[in-house]
Amino acid sequence: MSYSRRQFLKTTLGAAGTMAGASYGLNFLTPKIAEAKQVDLNFLFAGGTWKKWFEQSFTMPFAKENNCKIIISSGDSASQMVRVRAEKGNPSFDFIHVQQINAMQLGSVGLLEEWTNENIPNLKDVHPAFKNPYHAGKVVAPYGLAYNTKTSSKDVTSWYDLWDPAFKGKVGIPKWPWVGETWFNAVNKVFGGTEANISPGIEKCRQLVKENKAVILDSVEHTKNLFVSGEIWIAPYYTARTNQAIKAGAPLNFVYPKEGGLGWYFGTAIIKGRPEENRQMAFQFANYTLDPKKQLAFSTICGYPPTNTKAMAMLPADRQDLFLTPEQMDNLGKIKIDYVKMLENSDKAGERWNKEVLG
């Protein structure tokens, strides 16, 4: 099936605003599903340590408790999104692991099941900032700037510091299909651009790559390795991953840029159109990922704050890295991006990035 991104975005925009809630009447208090034949659930997911932690905290114990098998197919988010779109009406997967932007993109064109407090009871305890009609985060991942404190001659405070000549040849920025598109739209706003006018950001990023010799980073592991080896001194990065790089030997500090950081909440979205027994088990698993005790266990492993308010109240006092202060929450909301407009212009923006920044 051929389905271009531009066609998809056009459909997305046409469908926006038509979302309506639904109640699925699932009964989480009886063992009917567990007593039935084994259900196989297919999951589009990331790889690396994230997969390892997720299996340890969620998929393995859930499968054991509920007589099911969860089969994970690892890959990059962009190709997985394409697959979900291509299989509309006849999906082969039950879940896709996404952040909020991708969830809204897929959900608004009818590719995802809607979430309600009735079909996912733990949803009511998730902080309003970390849920949408099609999914909720199991954790929130703050994203700002990490920098080497030994090689930096000043305290980093701003996105502008990426362009400091002192970091020439030692600065990293994320690859476009990874988190680069969203990061770019944020810094484009910082430099006076809009979702429709990306020229300020393109000009500044071209300078960063061509003149300051920025390294393109393709994953969290790639970024950590370059920080540890000293090949980069500054880059946009996640809080928890910064801490992991510090434990690996990199002398780093993380800061929330004064213009505003970014905050992704990652979670499990349920793909619409699967058999009823899969669908019911899928809702039960999604509810499981929002359980406060399960979230707490996952947060302490991965180092990101939980989204369930009950889990937040259970955080140990010695894990300050898992707390988000009111000031940090405000910081993550400072840069306003219209994601519908961002996605509408995504193809052209990507073409300009490849041609003018990387070309």
Q: Categorize the per-residue pLDDT at 37 as very low, low, confident or very high, splitting at 50, 70 and 90.
A: confident
199 has pLDDT over 80: yes
Evaluate whether the domain defined by 5-139+263-332 bears CATH number 3.40.190.10.
yes
Query: Looking at residue 36, what is its pLDDT?
Result: 56
Say what the pTM is. Answer: 0.81
Q: pLDDT > 70: what percent of the chain?
A: 90
Instruction: Give me the mean pLDDT over the 28-51 stretch.
Output: 75
Q: Which of 14-23, 191-200, 223-232, 242-251 has the lowest mean pLDDT?
A: 14-23
pLDDT digits (tens, 9 = 90+) for 173-193: 999 988 999 999 999 999 999
Distance CA 267, CA 135 (A): 7
pLDDT per residue as tens digits for the range 210-224: 999 999 999 999 999
Give exposure, 327-351, as e/b (b: 16+ Cβ within 10 Å).
Answer: ebeebbeebebebbebbbbbeebbe
| pLDDT tens per residue, range 154-166 | 899 999 999 999 9
Higher pLDDT, 239 or 47: 239
The percentage of residues in the chain with a pLDDT greater than 90, rounded to a whole number, is 80
Whole-number pLDDT of residue 55: 98
Instruction: Write down the pLDDT at residue 343.
Output: 80
Range 232-259 average pLDDT: 98
Strands 172-174, 215-217: parallel, antiparallel or unpaired by DSSP? Answer: parallel
**CA 13 vs CA 104, 105, 223: distances in Å:** 11, 9, 34
338 pLDDT above the threshold of 80: yes
Token pair for 162: 């990426």
- Mean pLDDT in residue range 111-121: 98
Looking at the chain, the domain(s) classified CATH 3.40.190.10 span 5-139+263-332, 143-262+336-358
Side chain identity at residue 6, one-letter code: R
Give me the CATH code for the 143-262+336-358 domain, please.
3.40.190.10
How many CA atoms are closer than 13 Å to the CA of 254, on its beta-carbon side?
18
pLDDT of residue 270: 99
Label residue 237 by pLDDT band (50, 70, 90): very high
Q: Is 112 helix (H, G, I), strand (E, B) or coil?
A: strand
